[in-house]
Copies of this chain bind each other. A is one copy, B any other.
Amino acid sequence: MAGSKSRCLNSISQVLLTLLILRCLQCHSRPHSYDSKPLSEISKEIFKYSDIAQRIINLAVYGKAQNRSYERLAEFTDTVGNKVSGSKNLDLAIKYMYNALTWDGLENVHLEQVKIPHWVRGEESAVMLLPRNHTLAILGLGSSVGTPPGGIEAEVMVVESFEELKKRASEAKGKIVVYNQPFVSYGETVAYRASGASEAAKVGAVASLIRSVTPFSINSPHTGWQWYQPGVPQIPTACITVEDAQMMVRMARRGQRIVVHLTMGAQTLPDVDSYNTVAEITGSKHPEQVVLLSGHLDSWDVGQGAMDDGGGVAISWEALSLIRDLGLRPKRTLRTVLWSAEEPGGVGAAQYFQQHKANISNFDLVMESDLGTFSPLGLQFTGSDKARAIMKEVMKLLAPINVTSLEEHGEGTDINMWMKAGVPGASLHTADQRYFWFHHSDGDTMSVQNPEEMNLCSAVWAVVAYVVADLEEMLPR
């Protein structure tokens, strides 16, 4: 009996174990259960959201929420101004948004603490002394060291590429290297801003001035973060205008000696406390599962940050307001995160990732709008083929506003680590031909924004986020 009983118990325990394993597999595979479902069925499920999508669009584009994201952004921007990492203005911006999101009646509004860089520009100026006196419009680059108090006066060496700098390395000692690299694309050309100083320092330069990374200029300098390479002397570095870089290369080609006096009071102060700002609509069925919408709250210390990334902030807030206004509550949680300190390299978002990555299996889709909120053209998406196929169906819901395109390469400094870890990611692609004209310059103001375009962006953001958060299953990975 014992034997029989033992066998019987053994059989029962085997069955239980099998059930347990199956249950476990089911549990773990639940986020991927769309894997086995035919797309035609998923399409039908998504098609049922047509009415809801239309209601969201109507509210955002034609209804009482018309122009709301623009008006909110205008009031926020006009009240706070720019808000660079580490500044009191960024603290003000976070408080403003915390209060605004709370007052708007969103759920679980809270702040999540992070440490962020505190670089300050100080007084800065550059004057070309030879071949003639000319004041250069400059903007020191984030993380740059300053000059000695009296500034640096040195002859200029103009190069048009890193290759030219290497070839002419022997000429660089004691010089201010001016990079007049052509604008190819932001992704490619920003290398000069990011590492121009260290490359120049390696060959003995005392400072570097970098042509602003923009395809168009009205003598407008554009700032941005730069990175010193380890073990390389840290030299002061700033952007100059396209116009002045082009002038100096003409002078150099004529064999004229160029001398510049550069003064920069830039310094890096100790890191400060800051916060990622969070608001939610809690999911009705799977509150632990998250569709994350985001933009970053910090900006540069020039311009107003209305475009980079006020627009992304505004539509990530607006999307939740629209869904709430319609009395909708998706199965999963919609979470808007307004990142702190994106400009120094996604600093706030990197800490968020560390704080939340243990929960990565519950992140359904991460979205960021940080490329402008002009007229929307489509959604850039990173994810598996099956997830892409599903997202294409979701985008069809935006046919009423003709924004059905699903493109490659979801991107966003603040969501990249999630995508690298396998979470599907999406970014908003808008008619951004002029984005880099204003980017990181005094031209980043509310005048760049257009209420009608922001209505459309908000509608796209809300429809995508809501539908993905409400589908039967999470997006497959």
- The residues of A with any CB-CB pair to B shorter than 8 Å are 74-75, 78-81, 131-134, 137, 217-220, 242-243, 246-247, 250-251, 254, 303, 437-438, 441-443, 445-447
Is B246 in contact with A447, judged by CB distance below 8 angstroms? Answer: yes
Is A74 in contact with B250, judged by CB distance below 8 angstroms? Answer: yes
Query: Contacts of A242 on B, CB cut-off 8 Å?
Result: 447
Apart from A217-B218, A219-B220, A219-B445, list 4 A-B contacts with CB within 8 A. Answer: A78-B132, A78-B247, A81-B132, A250-B446
Is A251 in contact with B78, judged by CB distance below 8 angstroms? Answer: yes
Is A446 in contact with B218, judged by CB distance below 8 angstroms? Answer: no
Query: Contacts of A447 on B, CB cut-off 8 Å?
Result: 217, 242-243, 246
Is B74 in contact with A218, judged by CB distance below 8 angstroms? Answer: no
Is A437 in contact with B250, judged by CB distance below 8 angstroms? Answer: no
Query: Contacts of A74 on B, CB cut-off 8 Å?
Result: 250
Please give me the residue from chain B that is nearest to A438 by CB atom.
B218
Please give me the residue from chain B that is nearest to A214 by CB atom.
B218
Task: Name, among A74, A133, A303, A447, the residue most crowded by chain B CB atoms within 10 Å (CB to CB).
Answer: A447
Contact partner, A219, options B75, B80, B132, B441, Cβ 8 Å: B441
Is A246 in contact with B443, judged by CB distance below 8 angstroms? Answer: no
Q: Please, could you name 6 A-B residue pairs with CB atoms under 8 Å apart, sorted by A?
A: A74-B250, A217-B218, A218-B438, A219-B441, A220-B220, A243-B445
Query: Contacts of A132 on B, CB cut-off 8 Å?
Result: 78-81
Is A217 in contact with B443, judged by CB distance below 8 angstroms? Answer: yes
Is A247 in contact with B137, judged by CB distance below 8 angstroms? Answer: no
Please give me the residue from chain B that is nearest to A443 by CB atom.
B218
Is A246 in contact with B438, judged by CB distance below 8 angstroms? Answer: no
Task: Name, among A75, A137, A243, A254, the residue most crowded by chain B CB atoms within 10 Å (CB to CB).
Answer: A243
Query: Contacts of A246 on B, CB cut-off 8 Å?
Result: 446-447
CB distance from A238 to the nearest CB of B (A): 17
Is A78 in contact with B437, judged by CB distance below 8 angstroms? Answer: no
Instruction: Tell me the complex Cα distance, A247–B81, Å.
Output: 11
Contact partner, A220, options B78, B133, B218, B250, Cβ 8 Å: B218
Is A247 in contact with B445, judged by CB distance below 8 angstroms? Answer: yes
Is B218 in contact with A437, judged by CB distance below 8 angstroms? Answer: yes
Please give me the residue from chain B that is nearest to A216 by CB atom.
B218
Query: Contacts of A243 on B, CB cut-off 8 Å?
Result: 443, 445-447
Instruction: Tell me the complex Cα distance, A242–B447, Å.
Output: 8
CB distance from A93 to the nearest CB of B (A): 12
CB distance from A172 to the nearest CB of B (A): 23
Query: Contacts of A445 on B, CB cut-off 8 Å?
Result: 219, 243, 247
Instruction: Tell me the complex Cα distance, A251–B74, Å.
Output: 10
CB distance from A443 to the nearest CB of B (A): 3
Is A218 in contact with B134, judged by CB distance below 8 angstroms? Answer: no
Please give me the residue from chain B that is nearest to A132 by CB atom.
B81
Enumerate the 8 nearest inter-chain pairs by beta-carbon distance, A residue then B residue, closest first: A218-B443, A219-B442, A243-B445, A243-B447, A218-B220, A218-B218, A219-B443, A246-B447
CB distance from A72 to the nearest CB of B (A): 12
CB distance from A143 to the nearest CB of B (A): 24
CB distance from A262 to the nearest CB of B (A): 19
Contact partner, A131, options B79, B218, B219, B446, Cβ 8 Å: B79
Query: Contacts of A251 on B, CB cut-off 8 Å?
Result: 78
CB distance from A186 to the nearest CB of B (A): 16
Is A441 in contact with B218, judged by CB distance below 8 angstroms? Answer: yes
Instruction: Tell me the complex Cα distance, A446–B246, Å.
Output: 8
